[in-house]
């Protein structure tokens, strides 16, 4: 039998959506914030020659910069105010989460509740500013010499003033995006940072599709290859939807109790453990950690292109070559990062010890498992097994299509990582919309019940 929430969800209609004024306000706010994000991606940094920049970027397509450009919604290609996107903020968040697990002081701060959470968020913002300043400086230095030996420099007036201006603008752009994401989370629908990343990817999809079909029209791509890529994308979307819904339901029983009619009834429920508890976080975290040093190395490598007499410059060019998108070393590091963050974030989200204590407190138990320590060990065992499946699923989704597409020369906006982020974030946002509609309908039912109760008096 379906639960009351499932029955209510099935009765959601356009009429109920039209009555949910608070939900409509949240949706309009989210849409407006994403429009602001897209407009900012077209505001260039001062002192940049857009034509020379477009020409230089065209020459380095398929590298790390393209992958970074995908997450920033094309902002890096245009060197806009938000060229760094939200990746520095995500990297700072990763560092803080790792620090809270290793540092007793930060761990105690995390347990203080709201006040501790605010302090950790404050430290995360400081880390974001620091990372933005480092990336922004190396980006400015790389831009000054990128293509200068060939007479195609994208910087109109190189020098220290350009570097300082670039760092200030990039830091301000990323901090604004971070604030915008927080506003979407609190006043809109869905996770703000994830929606910003998804909006950047979706904005690049029409261009990627156009390039693919243009390649088929010009003959550079086999039409059969295009059909296989489209079919693979559809299969990936279906597979992602299936795996994101997959869960292991652990049976929970509660002690027998006597009902009002004198019958003895034993309550049963289920503890749902998702196969992919971490969601889309591992690919984003792994990409963020890889992209920050790789972006610095890429720009330094461009600077060193005309100065290969130095061993350090040759080493930089070698590293950037080995870590190009689709290269074996890059794929290995990316896959290892996905697996690590899958286990790490699952451990952060779900605490078997706390769950076992709560079950024991309310009299719940797993059939055949003693409450307390044995329940904790059992939950940890089950969670580890299904997390192995979830990590393998995420690694396969992100790596196999990316490898095939890199070999076929197709823009990787159509790859597994981008599809995973788009599908996952869309599913989470739709789920939140349904939750708001269900809450609105329950509120209407309660109001009607109160009115009827008042009439009877």
Q: What is the pLDDT of residue 5?
A: 46
Residue 394 neighbours by CB under 8 Å, 6+ apart? 276, 278, 282, 283, 338, 339, 342, 420
Q: Find the CATH number of the domain harbouring 46.
A: 1.10.3370.10
Q: What is the pLDDT of residue 59?
A: 65
Residue 332 lies in a domain: yes
Residue 206 lies in a domain: yes
Q: What is the pLDDT of residue 448?
A: 57
Residue 144 lies in a domain: yes
- Per the structure, how many domains does the chain have? 1
Residue 243 lies in a domain: yes
Is residue 250 within 8 Å of residue 367, measured between CB atoms? Answer: no
Residue 395 lies in a domain: yes
Is residue 95 within 8 Å of residue 106, measured between CB atoms? Answer: no
Q: What is the pLDDT of residue 168?
A: 93
Dihedral angle over CA of 373, 375, 379, 385, nearest 10: 90
| The pair of three-digit structure tokens given for residue 390, joined into one six-digit string | 């979830």
Handedness of CA 445, 451, 454, 456 (dihedral sign): negative
Please give, one letter per residue, the 3-state secondary structure of the chain. Answer: CCCHHHHHHHCCCHHHHHHCHHHHHHHHHHHHHHHHHHHHCCCECCCECHHHHHHHHHHCCCCHHHHHHHHCCCHHHHCECCCCCCHHHHHHHHHHHHHHHHCHHHHHHHCCCHHHHHHHHHHHHHHHHHHHHHHHHHHHHHHHHCCHHHCCCCECCCCHHHHHHHHHHHHHHHHHHHHHHHHHHHHCCCCHHHHHHHHHHHHHHHHHHHHHHHHHHHCCCCHHHHHHHHHHHHHHHHHHHHHHHCEEEEEEEEEEEECCCCCEEEEEEEEEEECCCCCCHHHHHHHHHHHHHHHHHHHHHHHHHHCCCCHHHHHHHHHHHHCCCCCHHHHHHHHHHHHHHHHHHHHHHCCHHHHHHHHHHCCCECCCCCCCHHHHHHHHHHHHHHHHHHHHHHHHHHHHHHHHHHHHCCCHHHCHHHHHHHHHHHHHHHHHHHHHHHHHHHHHHHHHHHHHHHHHC
Neighbours of 171 (CB within 10 A): 20
For the chain, which residues score pLDDT lower than 50? 1-11, 306, 308-309, 455, 457
Give me the half-sphere count of Cα atoms (radius 13 Å) on the Cβ side of residue 172.
11
Neighbours of 125 (CB within 10 A): 15
Residue 456 lies in a domain: no
Residue 45 lies in a domain: yes
Range of the domain at 397: 4-450
| The pair of three-digit structure tokens given for residue 167, joined into one six-digit string | 């760092």
CA-CA distance, 410 to 402, in Å (whole number)? 9
CA 445 distance to own-chain centroid: 36
Residue corresponding to tokens 């992958």? 67
Residue 441 lies in a domain: yes
Residues 70-90 have pLDDT tens digits of 777 778 778 888 888 888 888
Residue corresponding to tokens 């963020």? 288
Is residue 292 within 8 Å of residue 91, measured between CB atoms? Answer: yes
């Amino acid at each position: 039998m379906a639960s009351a929430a499932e029955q209510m969800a099935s009765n959601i209609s356009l009429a109920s959506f039209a009555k949910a004024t608070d939900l409509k306000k949240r949706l309009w706010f989210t849409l407006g914030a994403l429009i602001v994000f897209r407009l900012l991606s077209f505001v260039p940094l001062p002192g940049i020659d857009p034509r020379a920049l477009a020409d230089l970027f065209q020459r380095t397509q398929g590298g790390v910069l393209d992958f970074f450009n995908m997450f920033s919604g094309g902002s890096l290609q245009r060197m806009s105010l938000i060229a760094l996107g939200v990746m520095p903020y995500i990297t700072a968040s990763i560092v803080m989460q790792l620090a809270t697990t290793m540092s007793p002081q930060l761990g105690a701060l995390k347990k203080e509740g709201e006040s501790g959470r605010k302090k950790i968020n404050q430290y995360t913002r400081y880390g974001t500013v620091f990372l933005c300043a480092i990336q922004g400086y190396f980006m400015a230095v790389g831009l000054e010499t990128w293509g200068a030996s060939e007479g195609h420099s994208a910087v109109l007036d190189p020098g220290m003033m350009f570097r300082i201006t670039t760092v200030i603008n990039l830091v301000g752009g990323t901090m604004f995006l971070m604030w915008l994401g927080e506003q979407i989370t609190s006043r809109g629908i869905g996770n703000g940072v994830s929606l910003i990343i998804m909006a950047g990817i979706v904005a690049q999809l029409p261009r990627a599709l156009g390039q693919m079909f243009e390649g088929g029209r010009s003959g550079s791509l086999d039409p059969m290859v295009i059909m296989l890529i489209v079919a693979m994308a559809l299969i990936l979307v279906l597979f992602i939807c299936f795996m994101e819904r997959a869960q292991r339901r652990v049976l929970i029983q509660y002690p027998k109790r006597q009902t009002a009619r004198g019958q003895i009834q034993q309550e049963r429920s289920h503890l749902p453990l998702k196969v992919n508890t971490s969601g889309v976080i591992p690919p984003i975290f792994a990409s963020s950690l890889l992209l920050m040093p790789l972006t610095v190395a890429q720009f330094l490598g461009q600077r060193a292109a005309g100065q290969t007499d130095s061993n350090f410059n040759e080493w930089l060019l070698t590293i950037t070559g080995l870590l190009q998108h689709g290269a074996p070393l890059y794929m290995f590091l990316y896959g290892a990062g996905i697996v690590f963050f899958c286990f790490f974030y699952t451990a952060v989200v779900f605490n078997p010890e706390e769950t076992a204590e709560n079950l024991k407190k309310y009299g719940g138990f797993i059939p055949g498992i003693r409450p307390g320590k044995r329940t904790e060990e059992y939950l940890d065992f089950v969670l580890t097994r299904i997390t192995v499946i979830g990590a393998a699923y995420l690694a396969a989704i992100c790596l196999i299509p990316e490898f095939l597409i890199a070999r076929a020369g197709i823009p990787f906006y159509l790859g597994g990582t981008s599809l995973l982020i788009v599908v996952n974030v869309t599913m989470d946002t739709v789920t939140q919309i349904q939750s708001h509609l269900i809450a609105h309908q329950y509120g209407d039912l309660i109001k009607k019940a109160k009115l009827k109760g008042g009439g009877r008096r």
